[in-house]
Amino acid sequence: MAPSLTKDAPGTTGGKTFFGHPRGLATLFLTEMWERFSFYGLRALLVVYLVAGGPDAGEGGAGGQGGGLAMNLATATAIYSVYNAMVYLLTMPGGWFGDRLWGPRKTVAIGAGIIMLGHLTLALPGEGPFFIGLALVATGSGLLKANISKMVGDLYNGPDDPRRDGGFTVFYMGINAGSFVAPFIIGTVGQTYNWHLGFALAAVGMALGLIQFLLGSRHLDPRSSQIPSPLSAQEKSAMLRKSLLWLVVAVVFYGVVVATGTFTLNWAMVPLTVLGLIIPIGMLVRIKRDKELSRAEQGRMTGYIWFFAAAAIFWMIYDQGASTVQAFGDAKTSTSIMGWHFPSTWFQSINPLFIILLAPVFASLWLALNRRGKEPTTTGKFAFALVMTGASFFVFILPMSMASDGTKVSPLWLVLIFLMHTVAELCLSPVGLSVTTKLAPAKYASQLMGVWFLAVTAGDSITGLLSIGGADLSTTGVVAVEAALAVLAGFAVFMYRRQITSTMSEVQ
């Protein structure tokens, strides 16, 4: 997308604007576009690669190859859920590094480099490089995500800038361009030609994103280079000692487990999923109880906890689009149209395509309703998103029942499910990013953005624990329970919307 050649608009930080927004928005969403290219390429391949060659593998469409890790679907879902949970869990230390050690701009650059290295490691054959690569991608993503979103907020003149929600929606639309293309390139090459070459293409995408970020960083707000609350020399020393201590403890503990021959994947996955639930709760409690916060900031944090809980339920269902729904698409959905076959990884392009098509519609809709004084409140948008997400899984029950006798169902069922996910996402995710920057106490500017991403961690950790515990997420009974939970949560948010809004002070 080319920036508009208009003159400086009020409140922008550069000379020219990007569709009426600060020019730095172009740099940030292009960086995130390439990060999404690499992330969604891996996302499209991950579960399909894990089950390939195993009992739950599908045909894959378009000459899908074998040669994966031959795991069953429950194990693959657990690994995917834990990996996805860790991507977002690590946004918390990522925000901390941005706030206290490197500043947002430097943290993003380092994170992009680690992501690139992770995908290169995934390109190596074997289970060892595979899990090391996943860990590196998760670590780099944690450093990048919280800080790049915080820099988007820095481009605007405070919470009351009327372009702020629209800016986050434009940012959201731009990054999904990379998400849309990735399954066609990385998914096709990985699934039909060579898995590890597909992973290598993801590394190339992240390299392009890093180069673009370094070249375009001059358009960013100067605050992106500042360290809001730098560590003292004593704090750095204490942090290093504690980090080394915990590293030694982990190495010794797992060394003993491996030496005694008792190690299984659950020794890693169970602690991570439990941490994925405990840490978000602990972070919210710690921030809420900080005595340095003003009464207004305390009130806004009370309202924010409602949004966090709603988002966790949303992501629990939404992220199964790349596990439970993708596995159904691979094994039980027709991957041919009029005799032409396509790889099942292409299903992962449906959601980004709808984001690209519908994001500008929603951005214009919010602005138009705002001018008329009729824009739904944030609580209203969240409630609708939860109900729509639950409804998508009620719809999912229909093709699951139709395929129970071995029949291949139409791919249009998955198109409908992903369309419903997209509508819900546009009412929750960009709005959630924006409300986080509005409600965040100054002391926790980047860290609360990291906490927002922990809602994904909490949702995926629940999914991971269910899979590890033996729950079959691909049955209609479990899908119906998840759907009902989301709908009930949506009604609860709507019924208590006045109480939630009253805690948010001047923020609407």
pLDDT digits (tens, 9 = 90+) for 41-79: 999 999 999 998 887 777 666 656 677 888 989 999 999
**Residue (of 182, 197, 204, 190) closest to 49 by Cα position:** 190
| 337-352: pLDDT as tens digits | 888 899 999 999 999 8
22: Cβ–Cβ under 8 A, 6 or more apart, which residues? 11, 12, 13, 14, 155, 156, 167, 219, 221
Per-residue 3-state assignment (H helix, E strand, C coil) for 187-239:
HHHHHHCCHHHHHHHHHHHHHHHHHHHHHHHHHCCHHHHCCCCCCCHHHHHHH
Q: Over range 237-245, report the average pLDDT.
A: 90
CA 175/CA 417 separation, integer angstroms = 21
CA 178/CA 1 separation, integer angstroms = 12
Q: What band does 446 get if pLDDT is binned at 50, 70 and 90? A: low
**Residue (of 30, 52, 186) closest to 119 by Cα position:** 186
pLDDT > 70? residue 508: no
**Residue (of 136, 105, 125, 295) closest to 198 by Cα position:** 125
Q: How many CB atoms lie within 10 A of CB 49?
A: 26
Runs of H (alpha helix) within 403-411: none
| 254-263: pLDDT as tens digits | 999 889 988 8
More confident residue, 60 or 179: 179
| pLDDT for the residue numbered 17 | 67
**Residue (of 30, 142, 125, 143) closest to 84 by Cα position:** 142
Q: What band does 395 get if pLDDT is binned at 50, 70 and 90? A: very high
Structural domains of the chain ordered from first start = 19-502 (1.20.1250.20)
| pLDDT for the residue numbered 248 | 94
Of the chain, the percentage scoring pLDDT greater than 70 comes to: 91
Q: Over range 140-155, report the average pLDDT.
A: 85
Q: Over range 266-278, report the average pLDDT.
A: 92
Burial (Cβ within 10 Å: 0-12, 13-18, ≥19) of residue 365: middle
Amino acid at 214: L
CA 81/CA 462 separation, integer angstroms = 9
Arithmetic mean of pLDDT over the chain = 86
More confident residue, 167 or 457: 457
CA 349/CA 184 separation, integer angstroms = 8
Q: Over range 275-291, report the average pLDDT.
A: 89
| pLDDT for the residue numbered 5 | 33
Q: Please check whether residue 362 is in contact with residue 169, taking contact to mean a CB–CB distance below 8 angstroms.
A: yes
pLDDT > 90? residue 320: yes
More confident residue, 340 or 106: 106
Lowest mean pLDDT among 22-36, 49-63, 212-226, 325-339: 49-63
Burial (Cβ within 10 Å: 0-12, 13-18, ≥19) of residue 208: middle
pLDDT > 80? residue 507: no
Q: Please check whether residue 310 is in contact with residue 489, taking contact to mean a CB–CB distance below 8 angstroms.
A: yes
Give backbone dihedrals phi and psi of 333, rounded to 5 degrees, phi first: -120, 140
| pLDDT for the residue numbered 408 | 93
More confident residue, 19 or 359: 359
Lowest mean pLDDT among 103-112, 120-129, 407-416, 494-503: 494-503
More confident residue, 406 or 299: 406
| pLDDT for the residue numbered 171 | 77
| pLDDT for the residue numbered 60 | 66
Q: Over range 459-463, report the average pLDDT.
A: 95
H or E segment and range at residue 340: strand 340-341
pLDDT > 50? residue 1: no
Q: How many CB atoms lie within 10 A of CB 212?
A: 17
pLDDT > 70? residue 141: yes
Tokens of 381: 């948008």
Q: Please check whether residue 154 is in contact with residue 221, taking contact to mean a CB–CB distance below 8 angstroms.
A: yes
Q: Over range 484-506, report the average pLDDT.
A: 80
Q: Over range 414-438, report the average pLDDT.
A: 89
Q: What band does 12 get if pLDDT is binned at 50, 70 and 90? A: very low
Q: Over range 360-365, report the average pLDDT.
A: 85
| pLDDT for the residue numbered 2 | 35
More confident residue, 8 or 93: 93
| pLDDT for the residue numbered 18 | 65
| pLDDT for the residue numbered 8 | 42
Crossing angle of helices 127-154/412-439, nearest 10°? 50
